[in-house]
């Protein structure tokens, strides 16, 4: 029996060490797993926020693109309108005061100086009174 008692005592001496080693090992693994879960959580939050920001940028860029395409179509229509000779002649006659071949351009200027002088005279008369 003494031999059995000795072996039991030896086993009891080693078991607490073994138990503390496994406990430390499990607690270390728990801490590592918690850190991994925290990292995954932050990564997911960052990815979600980036996708929201990118979708907002995509929507603004599509609006800008659509506006640019509409402007492009308007400019193409304007080019077609201005390339016609009749519209060019109309612009030249009305805005630039030009005349075509076999035409005589007559400009009638209305004297603005006489009206301006009359107003000055009226103002002077009112001041004298």
Mean per-residue pLDDT over the chain, rounded: 79
pLDDT digits (tens, 9 = 90+) for 5-47: 666 666 566 555 556 678 888 999 999 999 999 999 999 999 9
SS (H, E, C) the chain: CHHHHHHHHHHHHHHHHHHHHHHHHHHHHHHHHHHHHHHHHHHHHHHHHHHHHHHHHHHHHHHHHHHHHHHHHHHHHHHHHHHCHHHHHHHHHHCCCCCCCCCCCCCCCCCCHHHHHHHHHHHHHHHHC
Mean pLDDT of 55-62: 97
Question: Regarding predicted confidence, which is higher, 11 or 68?
Answer: 68
Q: 73 falls in which pLDDT band (50, 70, 90)? A: very high
Q: Does the pLDDT at position 53 exceed 80?
A: yes
Residue 95: pLDDT band by 50, 70, 90 thresholds? confident
| Residue of 98, 118, 95 whose CA lies nearest to 106 | 98
- pLDDT (mean) for 40-68: 97
Give percent above pLDDT 90 in the chain: 39
Per-residue pLDDT band at 99 (split at 50, 70, 90):
confident
The band of 120, judged by pLDDT with boundaries at 50, 70 and 90, is low
Rounded Cα distance between 42 and 44, Å, is: 5
């Amino acid at each position: 029996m003494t031999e059995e008692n000795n072996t039991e005592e030896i086993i009891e001496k080693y078991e607490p060490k073994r138990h503390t080693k496994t406990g430390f090992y499990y607690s270390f693994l728990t801490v590592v797993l918690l850190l991994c879960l925290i990292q995954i959580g932050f990564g997911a939050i960052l990815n979600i926020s980036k996708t929201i920001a990118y979708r907002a940028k995509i929507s603004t860029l599509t609006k800008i693109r659509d506006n640019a395409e509409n402007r492009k179509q308007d400019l193409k229509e304007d080019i077609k309108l201005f390339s016609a000779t009749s519209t060019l002649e109309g612009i030249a006659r009305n805005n630039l005061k030009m005349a075509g071949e076999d035409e005589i351009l007559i400009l009638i200027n209305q004297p603005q100086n006489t009206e301006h002088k009359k107003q000055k005279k009226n103002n002077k008369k009112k001041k004298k009174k």
